[in-house]
Protein backbone atom coordinates (compact mmCIF):
# COMPACT_ATOMS: atom_id res chain seq x y z
CA UNK A 1 0.00 0.00 0.00
CA UNK A 2 1.43 3.31 -1.05
CA UNK A 3 -0.22 6.64 -0.35
CA UNK A 4 1.28 9.70 -1.97
CA UNK A 5 0.46 13.35 -1.44
CA UNK A 6 1.64 15.42 -4.37
CA UNK A 7 1.87 19.20 -4.07
CA UNK A 8 -1.38 19.40 -2.20
CA UNK A 9 -2.71 22.83 -1.26
CA UNK A 10 -5.95 23.74 0.41
CA UNK A 11 -7.02 27.35 0.51
CA UNK A 12 -9.90 28.84 2.44
CA UNK A 13 -10.33 32.20 0.82
CA UNK A 14 -6.83 33.57 0.74
CA UNK A 15 -5.67 31.54 3.69
CA UNK A 16 -3.50 28.49 3.02
CA UNK A 17 -4.67 25.85 5.48
CA UNK A 18 -2.34 23.42 3.69
CA UNK A 19 0.46 24.86 1.61
CA UNK A 20 2.05 22.70 -1.10
CA UNK A 21 2.65 19.51 0.82
CA UNK A 22 4.23 16.44 -0.75
CA UNK A 23 5.05 13.15 0.97
CA UNK A 24 4.55 9.40 0.80
CA UNK A 25 3.34 6.75 3.19
CA UNK A 26 3.72 2.99 3.34
CA UNK A 27 2.40 0.55 5.92
CA UNK A 28 3.01 1.66 9.49
CA UNK A 29 2.02 4.36 11.93
CA UNK A 30 2.64 8.00 11.08
CA UNK A 31 2.27 10.71 13.65
CA UNK A 32 1.23 14.12 12.41
CA UNK A 33 2.36 16.63 14.95
CA UNK A 34 1.32 20.24 14.90
CA UNK A 35 -0.11 23.01 17.01
CA UNK A 36 -3.79 23.93 16.75
CA UNK A 37 -4.45 25.53 13.39
CA UNK A 38 -1.40 24.00 11.73
CA UNK A 39 -3.57 22.16 9.21
CA UNK A 40 -3.76 18.61 10.58
CA UNK A 41 -7.51 18.34 10.27
CA UNK A 42 -7.55 19.88 6.82
CA UNK A 43 -4.95 17.38 5.61
CA UNK A 44 -6.83 14.43 7.07
CA UNK A 45 -10.13 15.60 5.62
CA UNK A 46 -8.58 15.62 2.20
CA UNK A 47 -7.24 12.14 2.81
CA UNK A 48 -10.73 11.05 3.84
CA UNK A 49 -12.21 12.73 0.70
CA UNK A 50 -14.67 14.75 2.74
CA UNK A 51 -13.03 17.80 1.28
CA UNK A 52 -10.99 18.25 -1.88
CA UNK A 53 -7.60 19.91 -2.42
CA UNK A 54 -7.50 23.31 -4.07
CA UNK A 55 -4.46 22.04 -5.96
CA UNK A 56 -2.43 18.87 -6.09
CA UNK A 57 -3.31 15.20 -6.12
CA UNK A 58 -3.46 12.41 -3.59
CA UNK A 59 -2.76 8.97 -5.00
CA UNK A 60 -3.08 5.50 -3.65
CA UNK A 61 -0.94 2.94 -5.44
CA UNK A 62 -0.56 5.49 -8.22
CA UNK A 63 -4.26 6.22 -8.69
CA UNK A 64 -5.97 9.51 -7.89
CA UNK A 65 -8.18 8.89 -4.87
CA UNK A 66 -10.87 11.17 -6.25
CA UNK A 67 -11.15 9.10 -9.42
CA UNK A 68 -11.20 5.91 -7.37
CA UNK A 69 -14.08 7.42 -5.43
CA UNK A 70 -16.11 4.77 -3.63
CA UNK A 71 -13.39 2.18 -4.20
CA UNK A 72 -10.95 4.37 -2.32
CA UNK A 73 -13.45 5.08 0.43
CA UNK A 74 -13.88 1.34 0.78
CA UNK A 75 -10.21 1.20 1.80
CA UNK A 76 -10.23 3.85 4.47
CA UNK A 77 -11.35 4.23 8.03
CA UNK A 78 -11.79 7.77 9.25
CA UNK A 79 -12.20 9.09 12.74
CA UNK A 80 -12.96 12.82 12.49
CA UNK A 81 -11.72 15.21 15.14
CA UNK A 82 -15.17 16.26 16.25
CA UNK A 83 -17.41 13.30 15.87
CA UNK A 84 -21.12 13.68 15.51
CA UNK A 85 -23.27 10.81 16.64
CA UNK A 86 -26.99 10.18 16.54
CA UNK A 87 -27.86 10.72 20.17
CA UNK A 88 -30.82 8.37 20.02
CA UNK A 89 -28.91 5.48 18.50
CA UNK A 90 -27.50 2.79 20.73
CA UNK A 91 -23.82 1.95 20.29
CA UNK A 92 -24.87 -1.23 18.56
CA UNK A 93 -27.24 0.47 16.17
CA UNK A 94 -24.76 3.21 15.36
CA UNK A 95 -22.10 0.67 14.44
CA UNK A 96 -24.59 -1.32 12.37
CA UNK A 97 -25.51 1.86 10.53
CA UNK A 98 -21.91 2.73 9.73
CA UNK A 99 -21.34 -0.89 8.71
CA UNK A 100 -24.23 -0.55 6.26
CA UNK A 101 -22.69 2.66 4.91
CA UNK A 102 -19.45 0.78 4.44
CA UNK A 103 -21.21 -2.00 2.58
CA UNK A 104 -20.80 -4.79 5.11
CA UNK A 105 -23.44 -7.47 5.00
CA UNK A 106 -25.57 -7.89 8.09
CA UNK A 107 -23.71 -11.06 9.05
CA UNK A 108 -20.26 -9.58 8.55
CA UNK A 109 -21.31 -6.52 10.48
CA UNK A 110 -22.59 -8.50 13.46
CA UNK A 111 -19.33 -10.43 13.74
CA UNK A 112 -17.12 -7.40 13.28
CA UNK A 113 -19.09 -5.29 15.74
CA UNK A 114 -18.82 -8.00 18.37
CA UNK A 115 -15.06 -8.06 17.86
CA UNK A 116 -14.65 -4.28 17.90
CA UNK A 117 -16.87 -3.62 20.89
CA UNK A 118 -14.63 -5.99 22.75
CA UNK A 119 -11.51 -4.29 21.43
CA UNK A 120 -12.62 -0.82 22.50
CA UNK A 121 -14.12 -2.13 25.70
CA UNK A 122 -17.70 -1.02 25.12
CA UNK A 123 -19.34 -4.43 25.22
CA UNK A 124 -21.34 -3.75 28.36
CA UNK A 125 -22.80 -0.47 27.07
CA UNK A 126 -23.65 -1.65 23.57
CA UNK A 127 -27.38 -1.24 24.23
CA UNK A 128 -26.98 2.22 25.73
CA UNK A 129 -27.72 5.34 23.72
CA UNK A 130 -24.59 7.10 22.52
CA UNK A 131 -26.08 10.40 23.68
CA UNK A 132 -25.33 9.28 27.23
CA UNK A 133 -21.68 8.43 26.50
CA UNK A 134 -18.72 10.24 28.02
CA UNK A 135 -16.12 11.88 25.79
CA UNK A 136 -13.82 8.89 26.06
CA UNK A 137 -16.57 6.43 25.22
CA UNK A 138 -17.57 8.46 22.18
CA UNK A 139 -13.98 8.47 21.06
CA UNK A 140 -13.77 4.71 21.44
CA UNK A 141 -16.94 4.08 19.49
CA UNK A 142 -15.48 6.43 16.89
CA UNK A 143 -12.43 4.24 16.68
CA UNK A 144 -14.57 1.13 16.44
CA UNK A 145 -16.55 2.55 13.51
CA UNK A 146 -13.34 3.47 11.71
CA UNK A 147 -12.14 -0.10 11.94
CA UNK A 148 -15.37 -1.76 10.78
CA UNK A 149 -14.24 -2.29 7.21
CA UNK A 150 -10.74 -3.40 8.15
CA UNK A 151 -9.32 -0.32 6.47
CA UNK A 152 -6.05 -0.42 4.61
CA UNK A 153 -5.66 3.24 5.45
CA UNK A 154 -6.70 4.42 8.88
CA UNK A 155 -7.03 8.16 9.38
CA UNK A 156 -7.53 9.28 12.96
CA UNK A 157 -7.70 12.95 13.84
CA UNK A 158 -6.66 13.71 17.42
CA UNK A 159 -8.12 10.45 18.66
CA UNK A 160 -6.79 10.76 22.16
CA UNK A 161 -8.40 14.08 22.93
CA UNK A 162 -10.80 13.55 25.79
CA UNK A 163 -9.30 10.25 26.86
CA UNK A 164 -7.96 9.78 30.36
CA UNK A 165 -4.36 8.57 30.77
CA UNK A 166 -5.37 4.95 31.10
CA UNK A 167 -7.56 5.07 28.01
CA UNK A 168 -4.76 6.85 26.23
CA UNK A 169 -2.32 4.03 26.85
CA UNK A 170 -4.92 1.47 25.92
CA UNK A 171 -5.55 3.32 22.70
CA UNK A 172 -1.88 3.61 21.87
CA UNK A 173 -1.45 -0.11 22.33
CA UNK A 174 -4.54 -0.76 20.28
CA UNK A 175 -3.21 1.29 17.39
CA UNK A 176 0.18 -0.29 17.39
CA UNK A 177 -1.39 -3.75 17.51
CA UNK A 178 -3.48 -3.13 14.39
CA UNK A 179 -0.90 -1.17 12.45
CA UNK A 180 0.77 -4.15 10.81
CA UNK A 181 -0.79 -4.36 7.39
CA UNK A 182 -2.01 -0.85 6.99
CA UNK A 183 -1.15 2.80 6.89
CA UNK A 184 -2.16 4.55 10.09
CA UNK A 185 -2.17 8.33 10.07
CA UNK A 186 -2.63 9.83 13.48
CA UNK A 187 -2.69 13.52 14.15
CA UNK A 188 -2.10 14.94 17.55
CA UNK A 189 -0.63 17.82 19.37
CA UNK A 190 0.32 15.52 22.19
CA UNK A 191 3.76 14.12 21.82
CA UNK A 192 3.41 11.10 24.04
CA UNK A 193 0.69 9.71 21.76
CA UNK A 194 3.15 8.90 19.07
CA UNK A 195 6.52 8.89 20.74
CA UNK A 196 6.93 5.13 20.76
CA UNK A 197 4.59 3.86 18.09
CA UNK A 198 5.25 6.14 15.15
CA UNK A 199 7.40 4.91 12.32
CA UNK A 200 7.71 8.49 11.19
CA UNK A 201 6.67 11.83 12.53
CA UNK A 202 5.45 14.65 10.31
CA UNK A 203 5.83 18.10 11.68
CA UNK A 204 3.25 20.52 10.38
CA UNK A 205 3.39 24.24 10.95
CA UNK A 206 1.14 26.87 9.38
CA UNK A 207 0.09 24.45 6.68
CA UNK A 208 3.63 23.54 5.72
CA UNK A 209 5.40 20.24 6.22
CA UNK A 210 8.61 21.00 8.13
CA UNK A 211 9.85 17.46 8.62
CA UNK A 212 8.94 13.89 7.91
CA UNK A 213 11.43 11.54 9.55
CA UNK A 214 11.55 8.76 12.03
CA UNK A 215 11.59 9.94 15.63
CA UNK A 216 15.25 9.08 16.17
CA UNK A 217 16.38 11.16 13.22
CA UNK A 218 14.22 14.00 14.36
CA UNK A 219 15.71 13.86 17.80
CA UNK A 220 19.07 14.04 16.16
CA UNK A 221 18.01 17.41 14.89
CA UNK A 222 18.01 18.83 18.39
CA UNK A 223 20.90 16.83 19.82
CA UNK A 224 23.12 19.17 21.80
CA UNK A 225 20.31 21.66 22.30
CA UNK A 226 18.54 20.31 25.36
CA UNK A 227 19.88 21.33 28.72
CA UNK A 228 19.17 20.77 32.38
CA UNK A 229 19.64 23.72 34.68
CA UNK A 230 19.34 23.52 38.43
CA UNK A 231 18.51 26.84 39.96
CA UNK A 232 16.44 28.69 42.51
CA UNK A 233 12.67 29.00 42.18
CA UNK A 234 12.94 32.76 41.85
CA UNK A 235 15.09 32.42 38.76
CA UNK A 236 12.38 30.69 36.70
CA UNK A 237 10.86 33.83 35.14
CA UNK A 238 14.27 35.00 34.00
CA UNK A 239 14.93 31.70 32.21
CA UNK A 240 11.44 31.63 30.73
CA UNK A 241 12.00 35.07 29.26
CA UNK A 242 15.23 34.08 27.61
CA UNK A 243 14.75 30.43 26.63
CA UNK A 244 12.21 27.79 25.72
CA UNK A 245 11.60 26.11 29.01
CA UNK A 246 10.05 22.67 29.13
CA UNK A 247 9.60 20.51 32.15
CA UNK A 248 10.12 22.04 35.54
CA UNK A 249 10.94 19.58 38.32
CA UNK A 250 10.88 20.86 41.89
CA UNK A 251 12.92 19.30 44.65
CA UNK A 252 12.99 20.94 48.10
CA UNK A 253 14.53 24.38 47.69
CA UNK A 254 15.84 23.94 44.16
CA UNK A 255 14.21 23.52 40.74
CA UNK A 256 15.48 21.70 37.69
CA UNK A 257 14.57 23.31 34.37
CA UNK A 258 14.61 21.63 31.01
CA UNK A 259 15.77 24.19 28.49
CA UNK A 260 15.92 24.04 24.70
CA UNK A 261 18.59 26.34 23.42
CA UNK A 262 21.26 26.39 20.75
CA UNK A 263 23.71 27.83 23.28
CA UNK A 264 24.48 26.77 26.82
CA UNK A 265 21.94 28.70 28.92
CA UNK A 266 24.18 28.93 31.97
CA UNK A 267 27.57 27.76 33.07
CA UNK A 268 26.08 25.09 35.28
CA UNK A 269 23.82 23.71 32.54
CA UNK A 270 24.38 20.13 31.54
CA UNK A 271 23.43 18.54 28.22
CA UNK A 272 20.75 15.87 28.26
CA UNK A 273 19.16 13.43 25.79
CA UNK A 274 16.36 15.04 23.82
CA UNK A 275 12.89 13.52 23.67
CA UNK A 276 9.92 14.26 21.39
CA UNK A 277 8.50 16.71 23.83
CA UNK A 278 11.61 18.80 23.50
CA UNK A 279 11.28 18.49 19.77
CA UNK A 280 7.73 19.75 19.85
CA UNK A 281 8.77 22.63 22.00
CA UNK A 282 11.57 23.37 19.64
CA UNK A 283 9.17 23.67 16.72
CA UNK A 284 6.14 25.06 18.45
CA UNK A 285 7.30 27.50 21.01
CA UNK A 286 3.85 28.95 21.44
CA UNK A 287 0.89 26.94 22.73
CA UNK A 288 3.02 24.26 24.29
CA UNK A 289 1.10 21.29 25.56
CA UNK A 290 3.07 18.38 26.84
CA UNK A 291 -0.06 16.39 27.45
CA UNK A 292 -0.70 14.29 30.48
CA UNK A 293 2.00 12.81 32.62
CA UNK A 294 3.62 9.78 31.11
CA UNK A 295 2.94 6.64 33.07
Partner 1 sequence: MLGLLKFELYKIYKQKSIYILFALLIAIISTGGWIDRSSEKVIYQGYQKWEGKLTAEKINKLDRIREDGNKKSDTGQEFTFKEHLLYSISMVIFQQTNFTEERNKEITQLKEKIQQTPLSYKKRQDELKKDMLSSIDTSDFYYPKGPAIMLDMIYTFGFVITAFMTIIGIGPIFSKEYSSGMDQFLLSSKYGRSKAVTAKILASLLFILSVIAMWSLYSVARSAYSFGLHGWKSSIQSVIQFLESPYPFSLSSAFTLMMMIHVIAALAFGVLVVFISAVSKKVIVSVLTSGVIFGLPLVLDTVLDYGGTKKVWVDRFISFSIYQFMKVKELFVGFRTYNFFGYPVLQPILAVILSFLTIILFWFITQWIMKKKQITV
Report 212-251 residues binding partner 1 (CB under 8 A): none
Find which of partner 1, ligand ADP, Mg ion, none residue 70 binds, CB within 5 to 8 Å per kind.
partner 1
Residue 50 binds: one of ligand ADP, partner 1, Mg ion, none (C-beta under 5 to 8 A by kind): partner 1
Label residue 220 left, alpha or beta by phi (over 0 means left) and psi (-120 to 50 means alpha): alpha
What is the DSSP annotation of 17-65? EEEEEEEEE-SEEEEEEE-TTSSHHHHHHHHTTSS--SEEEEEETTEEH
**Of residues 49, 81, 206, 266, which one binds Mg ion by CB under 5 A?**
81
Q: Which is nearer to ligand ADP, 45 or 258 (CB)?
A: 45
Consecutive H or E run containing 114:
helix 106-119
Contact between 292 and partner 1 per CB under 8 A: no
12 binds partner 1 (CB under 8 A): no
Say whether 124 sits in a helix, a strand or coil.
Answer: helix
**Binder to ligand ADP among 5, 8, 17, 197 (CB under 6 A)?**
17
Neighbours of 9 (CB within 10 A): 16
- Member of 3, 25, 38, 192 binding ligand ADP (CB under 6 A): 38
118 sits near partner 1 (criterion: CB under 8 A): no
Residues 152, 78: Cα–Cα separation, whole Å: 11
Determine phi and psi for 285, rounding to 5 degrees: -60, -45
Q: Among 40-48, 86-94, 109-117, 198-206, which window interacts with Mg ion (CB under 5 A)?
A: 40-48
Closest C-alpha to 276, from 231, 179, 211: 211
CA distance 102 to 124: 24
Which range, of 36-44, 55-63, 83-91, 201-209, touches Mg ion by CB under 5 A? 36-44
Site membership for partner 1, residue 45 (CB under 8 A): yes
Give the H/E segment covering residue 141: helix 135-147
Counting contacts by CB under 8 A, is residue 145 touching partner 1? yes
List contacts with ligand ADP (CB under 6 A).
12, 17, 34, 36-42
List contacts with Mg ion (CB under 5 A).
40-41, 81
Amino acid sequence: MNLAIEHVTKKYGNHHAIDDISCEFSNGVYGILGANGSGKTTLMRMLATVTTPTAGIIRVNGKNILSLGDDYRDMIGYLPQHIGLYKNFTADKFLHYIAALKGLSKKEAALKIEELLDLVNLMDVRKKKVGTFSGGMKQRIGIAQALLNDPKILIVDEPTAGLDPKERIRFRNLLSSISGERIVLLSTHIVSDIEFIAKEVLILKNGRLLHKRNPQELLHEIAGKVWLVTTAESEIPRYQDMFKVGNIVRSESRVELRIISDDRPSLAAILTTPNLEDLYLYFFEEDFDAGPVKV
